[in-house]
């Protein structure tokens, strides 16, 4: 599903580093994973009316073209493991006392999760909870149907077909049929005890007094283990032209995952129908259209619709008695979540350049955010390398404000980015985007670094690679190592860096590979920086936006390895002396 994407200021690549896990058990021996995202679905199956947990329910899904099943245990719990990314339909069946139900679950891939790279030898576990309610088949409904010839003549519509429509919930079957008796009374037994809206509509009806159009009546749920009386349905004499008796979108606030349901006044010819669903631009929207009794048209859009949008539905076609129908309808979706503002922006669309290093980052939205949604994320990154910054993410202001509290102060003058994908409590509704900002700049250059030492204990006359460590500073963007010797390099020369800030560590480290200018004897075949008693003094220094800091105290190093000499033959170089 595509959604609004808000970009502010500079755009850079954010690499989202997610926790990985190893040693995943392969539940299906013949199922190959993409080696990156491993999906898990689990949940509890309960009675929709009593909340009792139901055991031995058969759960069915398809993966890689193969049908898989499992059953709920004594606590109504089920679990599905080792799923590759994909869109899964789960069906719940196996108990004749309940209607078959279904739900859909998405296992995203790394692109969906905005993850750019994860080591290929590691897997990322993604878990989804999908609880499901089953509806007991113990509800009943009864009502009367009357045919209205004119204002003074009404009679029972004996023999009319009545459909009980459960399209508001995902069950199978979702329509049940009965016929009214000679008194116009219809009755249903063993219906799903749904708490959602149930519609009862008639099929086109004819008797000696005329032909009557489809009509309907609705009720807000049925009675568990009981019978509900439905309001009377009055059939009107149908005209030649077909018309829409009922739809579920005319009042606005259309649900993002809802099907569009239209009931016509008479039987239509589906093969003649042209159906178009577009955005305002217009851009076509994909959908699947199905008919029931040639009366009820159900349109299932995909991907799901976006919030705060208006869609255009165009219908045209013929009824079965060859009368033309045409209509253009507006479908306005529910108001969804929107980004409003952040405390790291001066005005919308401009990067904030002076965010205090100790201040939290706050994102404000138009409605409460559901941080528990497994498909959402809020990530803070720093620098051009987009390193993930550890932070605590909470909500405030009734869930409308996200508060990002970094585990440490921000780096002065450093560029930061917040990548987010947040869901509201409306099914299918989310907002995603990036905010770029810069922490407040440095006031002073870095101070002198302490704890500068070498990690290379053994240094011979021809040693060229040396390791160093030091105590990191909090306001450093990068480190550099300089060197000078007591031979020809009397001025300090940069020999190492830049090294990253490493301020999340207790000890910073860096490696130096001495350049050729630190070679005492340039006419031989090897580089010998410590030969002939030469000592090299090293320094480390920090740098930030204010400039280069103060050099550390010098660390003088020399050859600390004795040459190997035999009694008659000196095997060590004459210039290889310990100093």
Whole-angstrom Cα distance, residue 229 to residue 198?
12
pLDDT band with cut points at 50, 70 and 90 for residue 257: confident
Q: Comparing 544 with 518, which gets the higher pLDDT?
A: 518
Name the band, by pLDDT with cuts 50, 70 and 90, for residue 387.
confident
Question: For 136-173, b where at least 16 C-beta lie within 10 A, e where not — what string?
Answer: bbbbbbebbbbbbeeeeeeebbbebbbbbbbbbbbbee
Q: Residues 355, 421: one domain?
A: yes
CATH number of the domain bearing residue 377: 2.60.40.1220
Q: 3-state SS of the chain: helix, strand, coil percent to 5? A: 0, 45, 50
In this prediction, residues 509-528 reach a mean pLDDT of 89
Structure tokens at 1: 């599903």
Residue 377 in any domain: the answer is: yes
Do the domain assignments include residue 508?
A: yes
How far is Cα 259 from Cα 289, in angstroms, rounded to an integer?
Answer: 10
Q: Which of 134, 150, 174 is the last residue of a domain?
A: 134
- Report the 10 Å Cβ neighbour count for 491: 6
pLDDT single digits (tens) 366-385: 899 999 998 899 999 987 66
The reply to whether 317 falls in a domain is no
Contact (Cβ atoms closer than 8 angstroms) between residue 154 and residue 148: yes
CA distance linking residue 170 with residue 564, whole number of Å: 85
Higher-confidence residue of 386 and 248: namely: 248
Do 117 and 168 share a structural domain? no
Highest mean pLDDT among 34-43, 478-487, 556-565: 478-487
Give residue 503's pLDDT: 84
Instruction: Report residue 568's pLDDT band, with 50, 70 and 90 as the boundaries.
Output: very low
Whether 358 and 417 map to the same domain: the answer is yes
Residue 27 CA, chain-centre distance (Å), reads 25
Residues of the domain holding 382 = 339-439
Distance CA 44, CA 21 (A): 26
With respect to residue 117, please indicate whether it lies within any of the assigned structural domains. Answer: yes
CA distance 154 to 94: 46
**CA atoms within 13 Å, Cβ hemisphere of 160:** 33
Does the residue 226 lie in any domain? yes
Domain stops at, among 439, 474, 496 = 439
Amino acid 113: pLDDT: 67
The pLDDT value recorded for residue 524 is: 74
Determine the Cα–Cα distance for residues 560 and 515; give it in Å rounded to an integer: 20
The strand pair at 124-129 and 233-236 is best described as unpaired
DSSP for 181-215, please give it: -TTSEEEEEEEE--SSEEEEEEPPEEETTEEE---
Comparing 191-205, 288-302, 476-490, 518-532, the range with the smallest average pLDDT is 518-532
The answer to whether residue 310 sits within a structural domain is no
pLDDT surpasses 90 at 15: no
How many domains, the chain? 4
* Same-domain check for residues 71 and 124: yes
* Sign of the alpha-carbon dihedral angle for 500, 505, 508, 513: negative
Q: Are residues 187 and 43 in the same domain?
A: no
Give the dihedral of Cα atoms 439, 444, 450, 455; nearest 10 deg: 50
Residue 566 lies in a domain: no
CATH number of the domain bearing residue 42: 2.60.40.10
Tens of pLDDT, residues 22-73: 332 233 333 344 457 889 999 999 999 999 999 999 999 998 888 999 999 9
Residue 325 maps to a domain = no
The pLDDT score that the predictor gives to residue 552 is: 96
Retrieve residue 333's tokens. Answer: 């979706």
If you average pLDDT over residues 375-402, what whole number do you get?
88
Q: Are residues 519 and 404 in the same domain?
A: no
Are 414 and 465 members of one domain? no
Confidence of residue 577 (pLDDT cuts 50, 70, 90): low
Mean pLDDT of 316-333: 92
The DSSP result for 443-469, as a single string, is: SS--------EES-----TT--EEEEE
- Confidence grade of residue 251 (pLDDT, cut at 50, 70, 90): confident
Q: Is the pLDDT of residue 527 over 80?
A: yes
């Amino acid at each position: 599903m595509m959604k609004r994407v808000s970009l502010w200021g500079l755009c850079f690549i954010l690499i989202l580093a997610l926790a990985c896990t190893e040693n995943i058990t392969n539940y299906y021996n013949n199922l190959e994973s993409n080696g990156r995202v491993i999906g898990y679905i689990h949940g509890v199956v309960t009675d929709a009316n009593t909340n009792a947990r139901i055991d031995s329910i058969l759960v069915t899904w398809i993966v890689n073209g193969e049908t898989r099943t499992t059953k709920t245990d004594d606590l109504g719990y089920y679990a599905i493991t080792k799923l590759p990314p994909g869109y899964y339909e789960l069906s719940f069946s196996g108990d004749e006392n309940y209607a078959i139900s279904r739900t859909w679950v998405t296992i995203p891939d790394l692109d969906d999760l905005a993850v750019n790279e994860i080591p290929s030898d590691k897997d990322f576990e993604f878990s989804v909870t999908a609880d499901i309610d089953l509806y007991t088949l113990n509800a009943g409904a009864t009502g009367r149907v009357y045919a209205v010839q004119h204002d003074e003549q009404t009679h029972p519509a004996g023999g009319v077909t009545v459909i009980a429509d459960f399209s508001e919930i995902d069950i199978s079957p979702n329509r049940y049929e009965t016929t009214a008796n000679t008194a116009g009374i219809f009755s249903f037994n063993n219906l799903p005890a749904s708490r959602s809206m149930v519609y009862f509509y008639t099929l086109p009806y004819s008797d000696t007094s005329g032909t009557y159009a489809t009509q309907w009546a609705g009720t807000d749920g049925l009675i568990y283990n009981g019978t509900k009386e439905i309001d009377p349905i009055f059939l009107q004499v149908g005209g030649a032209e077909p018309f829409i008796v009922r739809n579920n979108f005319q009042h606005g606030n259309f649900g993002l995952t809802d099907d569009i349901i239209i009931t016509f006044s008479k039987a239509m010819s589906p093969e003649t129908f042209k159906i178009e669903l577009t955005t305002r631009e217009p851009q076509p929207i994909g959908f699947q259209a199905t008919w029931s009794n040639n009366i009820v048209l159900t349109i299932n859009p995909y991907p799901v619709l976006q919030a705060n949008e208006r869609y255009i539905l165009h219908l045209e076609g013929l009824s079965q008695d060859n009368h033309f129908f045409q209509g253009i309808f507006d479908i306005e979706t529910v108001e969804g979540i929107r980004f409003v503002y952040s405390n790291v922006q001066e005005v919308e669309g401009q990067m904030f350049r002076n965010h205090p290093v100790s201040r939290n980052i706050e994102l404000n939205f138009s409605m409460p955010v559901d941080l528990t949604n497994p498909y959402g994320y809020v990530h803070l990154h720093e620098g051009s390398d987009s390193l993930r910054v550890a932070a605590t993410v909470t909500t405030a202001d009734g869930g409308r404000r996200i508060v990002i509290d970094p585990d440490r102060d921000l780096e002065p003058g450093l560029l930061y980015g917040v990548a987010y994908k947040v869901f509201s409590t409306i099914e299918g509704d989310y907002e995603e985007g990036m905010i770029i900002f810069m922490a407040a700049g440095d006031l002073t250059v870095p101070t002198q670094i302490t704890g500068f030492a070498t990690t290379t204990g053994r240094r011979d006359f021809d040693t060229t690679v040396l390791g160093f460590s030091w105590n990191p500073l909090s306001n450093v963007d990068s480190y550099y190592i300089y060197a000078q010797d007591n031979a020809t390099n009397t001025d300090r020369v940069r020999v190492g860096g830049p090294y990253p800030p490493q301020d999340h560590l207790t000890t910073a480290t860096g490696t130096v590979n001495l350049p050729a200018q630190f070679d005492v004897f340039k006419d031989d075949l090897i580089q010998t920086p410590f030969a002939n008693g030469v000592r090299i003094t090293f320094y480390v220094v920090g740098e930030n936006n204010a400039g280069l800091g103060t050099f550390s105290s010098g660390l003088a190093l020399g050859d600390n390895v004795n040459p190997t000499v035999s009694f008659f033959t000196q095997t060590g170089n004459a210039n290889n002396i310990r100093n």
